[in-house]
Amino acid sequence: MSDHHDSDGWFDKPENVSKMLKVFYVVCVLLVIADFIVHRHIYHSWENVPAFYAIYGFVGCSILVFVAKWMRTFLMRGEDYYDE
């Protein structure tokens, strides 16, 4: 069953991927717009920042990846480091 669609998976076509990404971007924009329309409960004063969760998620994850990448410089060893 797997052989007849060897390298023509849906995600192999760049136009499909860019279509999907466009939908994704639109959803992101809608979520930020919703932040200004919907009255959300404020449990903490920091939440008063517009689109607080969106900003926090984006910045948090970027920092996570950059720090993790930097950690590689002193934590990374060969695959069989402990077997030598």
Give, as ranges, the residues between 17 and 76 that touch another protein (CB under 8 A). Answer: 21, 24-25, 27-28, 31-32, 34-35, 38, 40-41, 43-44, 46-47, 51-62, 64-69, 71-72, 74-76
Q: Which two tokens stand for residue 6?
A: 């060897």
**44 and 63 Cβ atoms separated by less than 8 Å:** no
Q: Per residue in 47-56, is it b (16+ CB within 10 Å) or e — as a string?
A: eeeeeeeeee
- For binding to another protein (CB under 8 A), which residues are involved? 1-3, 5-7, 9, 11-12, 21, 24-25, 27-28, 31-32, 34-35, 38, 40-41, 43-44, 46-47, 51-62, 64-69, 71-72, 74-83
